[in-house]
């Protein structure tokens, strides 16, 4: 016996009224939730379903298998889109220029992927005459916000449904529903698997013991990055070359961004680099713990940040991190299409026009350290920084006058406080 899942009544203007759902564009991953959704939408809305599966570079995915499964479960059409180039160029490139992280080292790979997935859903819904977009997000996470905010922004004529949020089936009921409706279930009765999301820029795991904050990571969660204790005993130095803020070469080899990120991920993963055990403040109020594996982002963001600081002035270097943080938060919070984000991009691009050069990083058993830097635009002069008197831009004998003026207000304020203490 399966549960009797209910359709829900809309509470927001963009949510679909069940009576008006005829043809649904389903964001389909091939997993249990979206496979149950594929059948459930056909049954309970009497609607046709068009499936869309987006390749953002998640490793080891067989898209032919996903497409065949969708068609076998009654999809009217199934489209698989390789969006890796677009993801890299339109989403990861600006993220790199903005040194984008949220919290304590989450490089936002999921948050960056969702607006593109939802934008593609809009494009395919229009192309295939769908009236509604369906996704498999729960009601507890950030992803529902990112997807629905994108659809509502880009396509006010389309409606959204999120069955997992409303049907109130747990995993056991979903498995029962799947069995009853001939949906193949991998690994059926065992404990629920980790909840995984991944793409070119990283991988996250949630659920199971990860929810126990005092439970140290179990080895089997690491499916991308080699555990540091198993990483090679020999360190490796990798160099990343940048032009105008974007990585263009790895160890001297010129590569397109997608290939470069895939190669960087492989090198970082081999050396145990990019493991982040993260407690996160979600936009929907909850705190959660995620285990992130982000080898490519660890290498590229570390190198970018270092090079940007080398070519920036002290004033730019103090100012930009505040804007970087704002950029990261807007993206985390599902507001990719907010104009402030593109305003910030204009600043990021202006600064990054100078970010050309090469950074060398030493990778060793989970650690990552910058060891070499070079740039034609470095605001750095080895003669000035050293102990020899040279250049003409700088004279050590001018320093005392500077110190007198630089410390003037602090000295005066200090005297005043001393005087007040003496009076008491």
| Subset of residues 84 to 123 that bind ligand ARG, contact rule: CB under 6 A | 110-111
Asked whether position 35 contacts ligand ARG by CB under 6 A, the answer is no
**Which of 77, 206, 262, 277 touches ligand ARG by CB under 6 A?**
206
Burial annotation 131-167 (CB, 10 A radius, 16+ → b, else e): bbbbbbbeeebbbbbbbbbbbbbbbeebbbbbbbbeb
Length of the chain: 424
Asked whether position 354 contacts ligand ARG by CB under 6 A, the answer is no
Question: Is 195 an active-site residue?
Answer: yes
Nearer to ligand ARG, 289 or 365 (CB): 289
Largest Cα–Cα distance of the chain, in whole Å? Answer: 89
CA distance 132 to 26: 9
Asked whether position 195 contacts ligand ARG by CB under 6 A, the answer is yes
Nearer to ligand ARG, 139 or 256 (CB): 139
In the complex, least distance from residue 296 CB atom to ligand ARG, rounded to whole angstroms: 16
**Which of 204, 226, 352, 354 touches ligand ARG by CB under 6 A?**
204
In the complex, least distance from residue 171 CB atom to ligand ARG, rounded to whole angstroms: 15
R_g (Cα) of the chain, nearest Å: 26
Nearer to ligand ARG, 34 or 110 (CB): 110
In the complex, least distance from residue 230 CB atom to ligand ARG, rounded to whole angstroms: 25
Nearer to ligand ARG, 270 or 289 (CB): 289
For residue 423, count other CB atoms closer than 10 A to its CB.
6
Binding mask 207-236 for ligand ARG (x = CB under 6 A): ------------------------------
Nearest alpha carbon to residue 285 among 146, 164, 140, 138: 140
List 35, 84, 97, 114, catalytic entry: 114
Nearer to ligand ARG, 66 or 307 (CB): 66
- What lies within 8 Å, CB to CB, of 352 at 6+ separation is 97, 244, 245, 246, 308
Which contacts of 30-35 are long-range, i.e. CB under 8 A and separated by 24 or more positions?
30/65, 30/66, 30/69, 30/70, 31/136, 32/171, 32/174, 32/175, 32/178, 32/183, 32/185, 32/186, 33/136, 33/164, 33/174, 34/136, 35/69, 35/73, 35/178, 35/183, 35/184
Question: Is 417 an active-site residue?
Answer: no
Asked whether position 306 contacts ligand ARG by CB under 6 A, the answer is no
**Which of 290, 293, 305, 306 touches ligand ARG by CB under 6 A?**
290
Binding mask 120-149 for ligand ARG (x = CB under 6 A): ----------------------xx------
List 143, 197, 290, 305, catalytic entry: 143
Distances (CA, A) of 242 to 50, 253, 264: 41, 12, 14
Asked whether position 280 contacts ligand ARG by CB under 6 A, the answer is yes
List 33, 198, 290, 305, catalytic entry: 33
Cα angle 290, 202, 108 (rounded to 5 degrees) comes to: 70
**Chain contacts with ligand ARG (rule: CB under 6 A):** 110-111, 142-143, 195, 197, 204, 206, 280, 290
Catalytic center residues: 33, 114, 143, 195
């Amino acid at each position: 016996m399966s549960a009797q899942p209910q359709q829900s009544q809309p509470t927001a203007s963009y949510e679909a009224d069940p009576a008006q759902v005829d043809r649904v564009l389903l964001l389909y991953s091939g997993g249990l939730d979206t496979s149950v959704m594929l059948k459930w939408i056909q049954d309970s809305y009497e609607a046709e379903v068009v499936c869309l599966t987006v390749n953002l570079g998640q490793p080891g995915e067989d898209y032919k298998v996903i497409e065949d499964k969708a068609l076998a479960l009654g999809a009217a059409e199934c489209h698989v889109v390789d969006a890796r180039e677009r993801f890299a160029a339109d989403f990861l490139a600006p993220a790199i220029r903005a040194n984008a992280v949220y919290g304590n080292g989450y490089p936002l790979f999921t948050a960056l992927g969702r607006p593109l997935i939802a934008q593609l859903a809009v494009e395919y819904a229009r192309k295939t005459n769908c009236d509604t977009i369906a996704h498999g997000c729960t009601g507890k996470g950030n992803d529902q916000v990112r997807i629905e905010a994108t659809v509502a922004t880009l396509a006010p004529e389309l409606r959204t449904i999120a069955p997992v949020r409303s049907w109130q089936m747990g995993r056991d009921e979903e498995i029962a529903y799947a069995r009853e409706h001939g949906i193949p279930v991998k690994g059926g009765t065992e404990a629920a698997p980790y909840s995984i999301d991944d793409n070119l820029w990283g991988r996250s795991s949630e659920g199971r013991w990860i929810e126990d904050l005092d439970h140290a990571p179990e080895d089997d969660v690491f499916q991308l990055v080699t555990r540091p204790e198993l990483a090679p005993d020999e360190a490796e130095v990798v160099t990343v070359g940048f032009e105008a803020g974007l990585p263009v070469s790895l160890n001297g080899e010129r590569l397109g961004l997608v290939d470069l990120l895939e190669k960087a991920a492989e090198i970082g993963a081999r050396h145990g680099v990019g493991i982040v055990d993260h407690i996160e403040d979600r936009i929907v109020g909850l705190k959660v713990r995620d285990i992130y594996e982000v080898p490519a982002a660890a290498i590229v963001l570390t190198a970018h940040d270092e090079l940007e600081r080398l070519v920036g002035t002290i004033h730019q270097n103090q100012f930009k991190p505040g804007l970087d943080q704002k950029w990261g938060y807007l993206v985390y919070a599902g507001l990719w299409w907010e104009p402030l984000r593109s305003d910030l991009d204009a600043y990021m691009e202006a600064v990054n026009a100078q970010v050309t050069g090469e950074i060398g990083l030493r990778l060793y058993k989970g650690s990552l350290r910058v060891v070499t830097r070079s740039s034609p635009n470095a605001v750095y002069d080895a003669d000035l920084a050293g102990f020899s008197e040279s250049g003409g831009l700088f004279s050590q004998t001018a320093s005392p006058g500077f110190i007198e003026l630089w410390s003037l207000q602090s000295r005066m304020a200090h005297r005043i406080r001393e005087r007040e203490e003496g009076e008491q």
